[in-house]
Chain A
């Protein structure tokens, strides 16, 4: 597991501590950043500061600190996407309301951590919104996400935003390079070319899933308490996060194509190292095609969110894309 970028998370935690000390805590925070490397470490740190019973908070040694670290504190509810669809359902939100509107078990704060807040279904989001609108005192909501654009706007507007990463969706290498190789390769034109590209992208996603599974299995190899079901859920969640980065990577490519069609220079490009290929591909495009490409790629993410099969989504999109 990569170590978190200390400066960002630590700075955010210092601000959180200052707000806590000054009795200025907001009731809800939208924490934007990589879930594993930034948002979750921030949530653990913030909760340790909130619940610690030591003199210097967080002491890391008191029962509360240990319970926070082991996710078994009685006044903290952790909600994560469930089942194969990786969605937070309405039932989980209803269960949560019991905890929120009752007094705390230990007589102090209560906290709710919504991991992957972008994966809350529409019905559940509306139910959750009601809770956010009328929060009881001494109840903290932490909504963690690496895709803030997918969180319902009315929920976002009720949260104070903590941005831990300016680029939460950047695909790491070697996947980024492999994706660019697929996008930059002109290959044959027409249906044959589209089929070839979609097959290569489908293969990339399959390998990405295998890589994620291996990494997650290695991360819990020594932890007997993680059940097979939990492990599968983590793999699926992580893979979906990475897949969103792939879609964003494709979106940035077609954004660059639009820039080239519009006469933008290298300083406008997100992939300046691929300027030559981008300009070559842009020669065959007009503005309307370039705009339409962006809409098609945005549609891919929506289709993935609706749990459509990856090969169907990819083939459908590449069959329509120009350039």
Chain B
């Protein structure tokens, strides 16, 4: 393989794919990026066997071929090279010479044959939507996924393509985030897939605001194809819990709150929570919300926020992070907090199809 490639192009490609490379790869070749040069393109691929990321960048290909090189080291080298054309030449022993101006590196690679083949998604269905929509849906839900590895089924985000809607759900058992988007697809394409959190995080990193993304869903894999990028991920096996049954059908009180002011006040008051006392109290009164936190060994804080509310007074305690996260990931000016009493689940909604259910904390 022999190519000449611009620094910007190779950096774009490496920065896209290097996040997949794990800290403790199970096979030596998984530390490497697969480079394949053909028809004025350089394809870069990385995998940790859970997520596979592949992208193409422009390059002048003098001799087509392929090799694998240590991903992190190559990225470090490319980052330090001057902004110029870089020549990469690989010999039969997988040793690559990198030349840029007067800089020269010889890097030992591993055989292309050792690199796992890019998974093929045979059969399955393809759904097309805007990248911006997919990214926003993931942003609004993925933070609620469980990180507890004993609850493996919750270690990802559910993508449910049903009734001409894409429903995205994540939950850790204490809170649940759900968002929906209208999407046309045939009835036989209805399917569910639980996408692992690592793949979701990579998608959030690489999805752009313009252009479409094709979502390929098969029994074993999900593929996300956009621009010159392909991300393929394994899925979490099993049936996602029936999330509809935890969403309260009706709450007694609905309170309109200005999101930004609520978020800032929450962040401030939450500074006074501690490991022993990790809850904040929200006291909803006539047109005002009092947010307070008290830790016996730290101190206390409270702040009042104006709201639109004329109902009965309700005081309820929540984990502050569980309230802050949806507010941080929404863009609406106003949100609606729905409550029944201090022990029933609270609900956060807004003027887009989004529902967030969170369990209150019982405090003395």
Binding site for B on A (CB under 8 A): 72, 74, 77, 94-95, 97-99, 101-107, 127, 130, 136-137
Chain B residue at smallest Cβ distance from A92: B24
Q: Is residue B137 within 8 Å, beta carbon to beta carbon, of the partner chain? A: no
Q: Is residue B227 within 8 Å, beta carbon to beta carbon, of the partner chain? A: no
CB distance from A90 to the nearest CB of B (A): 10
Q: CB < 8 Å: which of B26, B27, B50 contacts A102?
A: B50
Chain B residue at smallest Cβ distance from A71: B27
Query: Is the Cβ of A103 less than 8 Å from the Cβ of B234?
Result: yes
- Top 8 closest pairs, chain A to chain B, by CB: A101-B152, A103-B220, A102-B234, A107-B220, A103-B234, A136-B237, A103-B235, A74-B116
A137 to B114, CA, bound (A): 28
Q: CB < 8 Å: which of B114, B119, B219 contacts A106?
A: B119
Query: Is the Cβ of A103 less than 8 Å from the Cβ of B237?
Result: yes
Looking at chain B's contact residues, the main secondary structure is: loop
A77 to B150, CA, bound (A): 19
Q: Is residue B223 within 8 Å, beta carbon to beta carbon, of the partner chain? A: no
Q: Which of chain A's residues have a CB closer than 8 A to the CB of B219? A: 103, 107
Binding site for A on B (CB under 8 A): 24, 26-27, 29, 49-50, 114, 116, 119, 122, 149-150, 152-153, 155, 196, 219-221, 234-238
Q: Which of chain B's residues have a CB closer than 8 A to the CB of A130? A: 150
A77 to B116, CA, bound (A): 15
Q: CB < 8 Å: which of A98, A105, A127 contacts B116?
A: A105
Q: Which of chain A's residues have a CB closer than 8 A to the CB of B116? A: 74, 105
Query: Is the Cβ of B196 less than 8 Å from the Cβ of A77?
Result: no
Q: CB < 8 Å: which of B50, B153, B238 contacts A98?
A: B50
Query: Is the Cβ of A97 less than 8 Å from the Cβ of B119?
Result: no
Chain B residue at smallest Cβ distance from A104: B220
Query: Is the Cβ of B119 less than 8 Å from the Cβ of A105?
Result: yes
Query: Is the Cβ of B236 less than 8 Å from the Cβ of A102?
Result: yes
CB distance from A107 to the nearest CB of B (A): 4
Chain B residue at smallest Cβ distance from A98: B50
Chain B residue at smallest Cβ distance from A137: B237
CB distance from B159 to the nearest CB of A (A): 14
A105 to B235, CA, bound (A): 10
Query: Is the Cβ of A97 less than 8 Å from the Cβ of B114?
Result: no
Q: Which of chain A's residues have a CB closer than 8 A to the CB of B237? A: 101-103, 136-137
Q: Which of chain B's residues have a CB closer than 8 A to the CB of A98? A: 50, 149, 196
A233 to B24, CA, bound (A): 18
Q: Which of chain A's residues have a CB closer than 8 A to the CB of B26? A: 77
Chain A residue at smallest Cβ distance from B152: A101
Query: Of residues A94, A97, A103, A137, which shows the largest number of chain B Cβ atoms within 10 Å of its Cβ?
Result: A103
Q: Which of chain B's residues have a CB closer than 8 A to the CB of A95? A: 24
Q: Which of chain A's residues have a CB closer than 8 A to the CB of B196? A: 98, 102
Query: Is the Cβ of A136 less than 8 Å from the Cβ of B235?
Result: no
Query: Is the Cβ of B27 less than 8 Å from the Cβ of A97?
Result: no
Q: Which of chain A's residues have a CB closer than 8 A to the CB of B24? A: 95
Q: Which of chain A's residues have a CB closer than 8 A to the CB of B149? A: 94, 97-98
Chain A residue at smallest Cβ distance from B156: A102
Q: Which of chain A's residues have a CB closer than 8 A to the CB of B29? A: 72
Known: A102-B50, A107-B119. 5 other contacts (CB 8 A): A101-B153, A101-B155, A101-B237, A103-B235, A107-B220
Q: Which of chain B's residues have a CB closer than 8 A to the CB of A102? A: 50, 196, 234-237
Q: CB < 8 Å: which of B49, B235, B238 contacts A74?
A: B49
Query: Is the Cβ of A136 less than 8 Å from the Cβ of B238?
Result: yes
CB distance from A122 to the nearest CB of B (A): 17
A77 to B26, CA, bound (A): 8
CB distance from B128 to the nearest CB of A (A): 23
